[in-house]
Amino acid sequence: MKFDTIIIGGGLAGMVAGIALQKAGQKTAIISTGQNALHFFSGTFESLQEPTPRIKELIEEAGIRLHYGQGVRLMPMGTFQPSALCLEDVDIFPDAHFGRRVLIVNFMGYHDFFSSFLSEGLEKQGMECRIRFLNLPEMEQLLQSPSEMRSVQIARTMDRIWEKVVQEIRVLLKDDDTVVLPQVFGLKDPSVPGRIRQGIPAKVVFAGTLPPSVPGVRTQMQLRKRYEVLGGTYLMGDEALEAHVHNGMVHSIVTRNLDSHYLEADNFVLSTGSFFSKGLRSNPERIWEPVFGLDVEYPEDRNGWYSPSFADDQPYMGYGVKTDARLHGVADGEPLKNLYAAGSILGVTHPELGSAAGLAIRSALAVADAILCHSERSEESN
């Protein structure tokens, strides 16, 4: 099977590159070894620069609701972090003191939302907090298997009964000016968080839960749908095993599911993520990139890979594949002319990009532009 571009890795970077290329008229495929890091998405792109109109358009065309502001957002443990471009569910406050009296609402039996940590954190900021638990008959079915009481399971029930939850919260409200709820709303319908805000006569703040992230799963579904509507081929659950490379050009790749049926393309994008997604592999002796064998820079002495203190920034988290200035992947010191790297596999996180999601979007667009610019040039020379 032949494509203009094959993207290896179906997370945020891969899907953004795929959407940009499909929009430009390319025929592309995405190969994704299972689901991706959007399932742990905080709902904020953490890009501290103002998004370009192109980024906003590309994301909003997928039906994803965004907002941009300068400030901080509430973290799941009651701390705050600088933030800028977010999903509509995530609030940005000018500073950490966003209310006076806060009602934190959780569901009976739900342990993946840390209401008491939140309360402690907010009280440190001088806010007065109380915690209440909702016990709804519609959730009895979920309570039958406590080990499965997770965000996405609750969100499926909430998709049906969120209006009832709004009523219950209105009853609980006294003189609170703010309500904090877990991010378990709007799995299918992205308008639900906004409608909940309208229904409650107080400021409503959604705080993160343990994974899977409901806004993240929703974002994944929206981006994939958009990519497929544009005609992209998303090969879910397949894995790129090796590449056929001649004279510095990637010719085709071999995948686990398609074995002897090689996938060919003019250009390839590697957006397989870092260690978690197995974009990088390691053993006690070395760190390597498994598909193309791209060069990875890391200290020879393994003791330098990590800091013995668990909570420190870990150096290995910053490791990535070597690229040239146009993001071509480099193998044995030589750039592969039609292979580009995007997203977390680049390793480096530039301060102006905030973190992984911002890097994913901006590097994916840079790679898409490089591919499109290059194919225009080769068409002209023909």
Partner 1 sequence: MKLQEYTQSRANFEECMKCTVCTAYCPVLQVNPLYPGPKQAGPDGERLRLKDPYFFNYALKYCLNCKRCEVACPSGVHVADLIQTARIKYDKSNPKLRDRILASTDFMGKMVRPVAPIANVATGLGITKTVLDATLKIDHRRQFPAYSGRSFEGWLKRRAKEQAAFPEQVAYFHGCYVNYNYPQLGKDLVKVMNALGIGVQLLDKEKCCGIAMITNGMSKEATKHANHNVAVLQKAVDAGLKVVTTSSTCVFTIRDEYPGVLGVDNAAVHDAIFMATRLIYEKLEKGATLKFKADYHKKIAYHTPCHMEKLGWGVFSENLMRMIPGVEFTVLDSACCGIAGTYGFKKENYEASQAIGAPLFAQIQSVNPDIVACDCETCKWQIEMSTGYKVMNPISILAEALAD
Chain residues that interact with partner 1, rule: CB under 8 A: 1, 33-36, 39-40, 141-142, 144-145, 147-148, 150, 152-153, 156, 210-212, 217, 228, 233, 235-239, 255-261, 276-278, 283-285
Output the smallest distance, CB 109 to partner 1, in A: 12
Two tokens, residue 223: 């981006």
Tokens of 180: 């904090």
- Nearer to partner 1 by Cβ, of 283 and 309: the residue is 283
- Choice between 259 and 301, CB closer to partner 1: 259
Listing DSSP states for 201-238 in one string gives: SSEEEEE--SSSPHHHHHHHHHHHHHHHHTT-EEEET-
**Smallest separation (angstroms) from partner 1 to the CB of 141:** 5
Please state the length of the chain: 382
Closest CB to partner 1 among residues 28, 83: 28
Least Å distance, CB 26 to partner 1, is: 17
Nearer to partner 1, 152 or 169 (CB): 152
- Tokens 């988290």 belong to residue: 317
- Give the C-alpha separation, 7 to 20, whole Å: 12
Between CA 176 and CA 182, with CA 178 as vertex, the angle to 5 degrees is: 125
CB nearer to partner 1: give 30 or 243: 30
Specify the DSSP element, H or E, that contains 109: none
CB of 341 to partner 1, least distance (A): 19
Give the separation between CA 119 and CA 69, rounded to whole angstroms. Answer: 25
CB of residue 148 to partner 1, shortest distance in Å:
5
Query: Smallest gap, in angstroms, from Cβ of residue 176 to partner 1?
Result: 32
The conformation of residue 53, written as its DSSP 8-state character, comes to H
Backbone phi and psi for residue 2, each to the nearest 5 degrees, phi listed first: -120, 135
* Rounded least distance, CB 55 to partner 1, Å: 26
CA 75 from chain centre, in angstroms, equals 16
Q: Which two tokens stand for residue 88?
A: 């509509």
* Cβ-based burial of 146 (10 A; exposed 0-12, middle 13-18, buried ≥19): exposed
Give the nearer residue to partner 1 in terms of CB position, either 155 or 296.
155
Torsion of CA 270, 276, 280, 283, to 10 degrees: -170
- Residue written as token pair 């680049």: 346
| Nearer to partner 1 (CB atom), residue 86 or residue 152 | 152
Other C-beta atoms closer than 10 Å to the C-beta of 182 total: 26
Q: How far is the CB of 12 from partner 1 (least distance, A)?
A: 14
In this complex, which beta carbon is closest to partner 1, that of residue 198 or of residue 260? 260
Nearer to partner 1, 241 or 249 (CB): 241
Gap between the Cα atoms of 38 and 360, Å rounded: 11
Which amino acid is located at 6 in the chain? Answer: I
Q: Which is nearer to partner 1, 65 or 156 (CB)?
A: 156
State in angstroms the smallest separation of the CB of 17 from partner 1.
19
Report which residue type is found at 98: F
Q: Give me the least distance between CB of 152 and partner 1, in Å please.
A: 4
136 three-class SS: coil
Cβ proximity of 18 and 277 under 8 Å:
no
